[in-house]
Amino acid sequence: MKPWLTRARKRLSRVTIVVLVRCFQTLARIFPYRAAVACGSAFGWLTYHLLPRERGRALQHLTAVFPGRGASWAKRTGVRTFMHLGRGLMEVLAMTPSRIGKVVRIEGLERLEEALSLGKGVVYVTGHIGNWELMAGAVASRKMPVSVIAAPIKPESVNDLILELRAGLGVKTIVRSRPGAAKEMIRVFRENRIIGILIDQDTDVDGAFVDFLGKPAWTPTAAAQMAAKFGAPVMFGYITRNSNGTHTVKIEGPLHLVQTGADAKDITDNTAMLTKKIEEAVLREPEQWVWMHRRWRRQP
């Protein structure tokens, strides 16, 4: 394909994304909450059928991880995954500080409060399970200081919208790779804040190969590194969607980390332990994870 045509297609794709997000934002504002979420579900169903590459990848991963379930189960779970993500988009766009406490329940909040009382900050590890954006907002709505580490999203206007939505729920965002991001992370621990980090995707950051759902996967080691560097307690939390449209956050910890003095091995071992926590949550609610992500794109 000619370079100018490739650039034109990328620009068109970015414009399409911006238009879609703005349309959904408008729907989220004018529709009742449940109706808006239902629209998101329908959009998810539609994208399952309109995005063959993402659909194929999701089905491939589901079949590989659950070989005994059969093709019909994989297809059904794949559809539910896309519908779940569509609902999640509308929930985030329609969420308000006054609504989030009614929609999201938290189990184990007292554990998080105890960890914060140590005054060292808290490393809060999670994955792309359930509606992870609502989880951060729900914790922040309980008057707890929350920052999250996030990769920049293109196009820039969509990235700015996401940052704005998080800020509206009381969540600060540290955009990875932007100038000053490292200083912001250090400030989190000095200010005794919670720093949320997702470690279940293959991204171009410091990482290690650890087992995830039966296969080695390149996994960010930042959570284990930060805990070792700052001596902060580590918590694990995840959120799941309930059948009535509400959500439940479950928080565990502080977790026991390996500290043998062999720094590199300790970081890998601790990353493997945290990844196991995510794996267990995914196995409990497989339709609420991002199966279309290229989780195993790298080989050890």
Tens of pLDDT, residue by residue over 165-177, are 899 999 999 998 7
Which of these ranges, 25-39, 58-72, 155-169, 217-231, has the smallest mean pLDDT? 155-169
The DSSP symbol for 286 reads G
pLDDT value of residue 3: 59
Q: Residues 111, 252: contact at Cβ < 8 Å?
A: yes
On the question of pLDDT at 5 being above 60, the answer is no
Q: Residues 104, 246: contact at Cβ < 8 Å?
A: yes
Distance (Å, whole) CA 204 – CA 292:
18
pLDDT value of residue 14: 57
Q: Residues 60, 71: contact at Cβ < 8 Å?
A: no
On the question of pLDDT at 218 being above 90, the answer is yes
pLDDT class of 180 with cuts at 50, 70, 90: confident
CB contact burial 186-210 (16+ within 10 A = b; e otherwise): eebbeeebbbbbbbbbbeebebbbb
Give the strand pairing for 146-150 and 171-175.
Answer: parallel
CA atoms in the 13 A half-sphere facing the CB of 261: 0
Which residues lie below 8 Å from residue 7, measured CB to CB, with a gap of 6+? none
pLDDT class of 10 with cuts at 50, 70, 90: low
| Cα–Cα distance list, 85 to 44, 129, 291 (Å) | 6, 10, 11
| Cα–Cα distance list, 111 to 26, 108, 115, 124, 264 (Å) | 38, 5, 6, 12, 28
On the question of pLDDT at 155 being above 80, the answer is no
pLDDT class of 270 with cuts at 50, 70, 90: very high
3-state secondary structure of 32: coil
On the question of pLDDT at 13 being above 70, the answer is no
Distance (Å, whole) CA 286 – CA 7:
36
Which of these ranges, 66-75, 178-187, 239-248, has the smallest mean pLDDT? 178-187
What's the distance, CA 93 to chain centroid?
16
**Whole-model pTM?**
0.92
Give which of 51, 52, 78 is closest to 63, Cα–Cα. 78
User: Once rounded to an integer, what is the mean pLDDT over residues 73-95?
Assistant: 96
Tens digits of residue pLDDT in 108-144: 999 999 999 999 999 999 999 999 999 999 999 999 9
**Could you tell me where the DSSP H helices lie in the chain?**
3-30, 33-50, 52-65, 71-94, 97-103, 109-116, 132-141, 156-168, 181-190, 222-230, 263-284
pLDDT value of residue 161: 83
Distance (Å, whole) CA 74 – CA 56:
11
pLDDT value of residue 253: 94
Which of these ranges, 225-239, 250-264, 273-287, has the smallest mean pLDDT? 250-264
pLDDT value of residue 9: 56
On the question of pLDDT at 259 being above 70, the answer is yes
